Amino acid sequence: MSEAILEARDISFDYPGGIPALVSLNLTIARGRRLAILGPNGAGKTTLLLHLNGTHAPKSGEIRLGGEAVGYSRTALRAWRGTVGLVLQEADDQLFSASVRQDISFGPLNQGLSEDEARARVDEAVEALRLAHVVERPTHMLSFGQKKRVAIAGIMAMRPRVLILDEPTAGLDPSGERHLLHALNGLHAAGTTMVFSTHNIDFAWSWADDVALFQEGRVLRQGTAEEVLLDDELLKQVGMRPPLVADIARMLPQCQGQPLPRTRDQLQALLGNA
């Protein structure tokens, strides 16, 4: 595994009222990989993500960025959030302007870039997220999926090295999901490390390199997608079943001793070749 770009070491966090949310949690995010944080609703996934960009500070333990423990001063947070971008589940929580272009320019200008540089960043993000056809439309006339992509563009325009997405596909229709993943694949190919939370094991299997299985504020196991998602015993503990595509493929003779298909298309191709 490549070097860790972002780590949570032994962090604990309580909700107001002393209800434990994260319990001595350890997580390693490897540079250039896609990590799924998989767990049921209410397991503390979002709380963890909010620690990864410094929105919350842990009660104990530390977050390490590029091998060094981070601080929570204004300057430190500014640098941190420039490196680690967080996209919330609800795009409306991140979009404040009725103008798509102005909204995307907000992050870069907060980073102190000049107007020209910011404009270039906006164009780049619009292109990367395939938003050129909606950029002249007011935010409230965009579809749910388009808003989500604008929210991601607003973060990408800051050129973070790590992109954190809370439930990126929640609420998207199949075509919205395709558009989103297409755009995210492009960003990943360009070198962005991805972390995303999901409760959907099939989605995690289709898209993640690594998986951290999450339960009640702890990481039960972190490893490659194969290590975690094909471990029936482990999955049984959290009441999950293996990804459908992998589960079917495992039963097929032509898949023995081979990497299992990740997507429906790959599975179909295998079956078609038989």
Distance CA 248, CA 232 (A): 14
Binding string, 153-192, against other proteins, x = CB under 8 A?
A: -xx--x----------------------------------
Q: Is 193 in the site for other proteins (CB under 8 A)?
A: no
Give buried/exposed letters for 78-94 (b at 16+ CB in 10 A, else e): eebbbbbbbbbbebeeb
CA neighbours within 13 Å on the CB side: how many for 271? 13
One residue of 59, 78, 236, 264 binding other proteins per CB under 8 A: 78
Q: Does 135 bind other proteins (CB under 8 A)?
A: no
**CB 86, min distance to other proteins, A:** 4
The rounded distance, in Å, linking the Cα atoms of 251 and 261 is 12
Q: How far is the CB of 64 from other proteins (least distance, A)?
A: 19
Contact 85, 49 (CB under 8 A): no
Binding mask 33-72 for other proteins (x = CB under 8 A): -----------------x--x-x-----------------
For residue 72, give both structure tokens: 């929570």
SS3 152: helix
- The stretch near other proteins (CB under 8 A) out of 37-45, 86-94, 203-211, 213-221 is 86-94
Beta bridge partners of 62: 9
Residue among 7, 103, 167, 202 that touches other proteins (CB under 8 A): 103
What's the min distance (Å) between Cβ of 13 and other proteins?
Answer: 15
How far from chain centre, in Å, is Cα 117?
26
Tell me the C-alpha distance between 14 and 131, whole Å.
Answer: 39
Positions in the binding site for other proteins (CB under 8 A): 50, 53, 55, 74, 78, 81-82, 85-88, 90, 92-99, 101-103, 105-107, 109-111, 115, 118-119, 122, 137-141, 151, 154-155, 158
